[in-house]
Amino acid sequence: MSALPLPRGRHAAPREVVWESQRGRMLEAMALAVAEKGYAGTAVADVIGSAGVSRKTFYEHFANKEACFLEAYDAGVQVLLATIDDAVAAAPDWLRAVTDGLRAYLDTLAANPAFARTFLVEILAAGPLAIERRGAVHARFAEQIAANHRAARADVPELIAVPEHRFRACVGATHELVAAHLTAHGAETLPSLLDQLVDVQLALFQP
């Protein structure tokens, strides 16, 4: 990816627009570099070279490589979760909520392969703060599954309550299947996992 140069002269963008443009380019450059080289192999030089900014500009925005990486991760997660939430909210019933939420998850990762690798694989190499971020995201996914289960029990009274740890375990199983597929086949084919992931999640809904 080569970043577009910022306009100069009297038509140059206002400082706040330049700031956000630079920041966004650096976040994207970080995700692309980490997807290609891994977190450990990525340097600030890779980010500034791809984003077309100076080292001074990088450190005006971020304290270090880790801070830039974590913000790139957070930005991608925000989009991912919002997309899933919209799909679930629009579903006509709990069963469609399960399917449509998982489809939104897989489609979003497939459309953003650099983020998919960052989200699923490289986050584990980025240190304790990154692991903490990952844990919070997994807890959020577990709550979504729990909410779907509560909706199912309201609709199907014979369904029994299940302990909370099973929802987190379901997230772990989902993550394992998706990460393994990504590593073996790439992000673009992740939507092919939809039936498998629906099967894993609906195992919690058996009476």
Where along the chain do its domains lie? 9-62, 66-205
Task: Please give the pLDDT value at position 30.
Answer: 94
| Helices 94-111 and 194-202: angle between axes, nearest 10 degrees | 140
CA angle 96, 176, 67 (to 5 degrees): 100
CATH topology of domain 9-62: Arc Repressor Mutant, subunit A (1.10.10)
- 134: enclosing H helix or E strand: helix 128-155
Which of the residues in the chain have pLDDT under 70?
1-20, 207
| 149-175 pLDDT tens trace | 999 999 888 888 889 999 999 999 999
Task: Please give the pLDDT value at position 150.
Answer: 92
DSSP 52: T
CATH topology of domain 66-205: Tetracycline Repressor; domain 2 (1.10.357)
Burial of 164 (0-12, 13-18, 19+ CB in 10 A): exposed
Predicted model pTM: 0.85
CA–CA distance, 7 with 21 (Å, rounded to integer):
11
Closest Cα partner for 39 from 127, 136, 109, 135?
127
Task: Please give the pLDDT value at position 4.
Answer: 37
Q: SS3 for 39?
A: coil
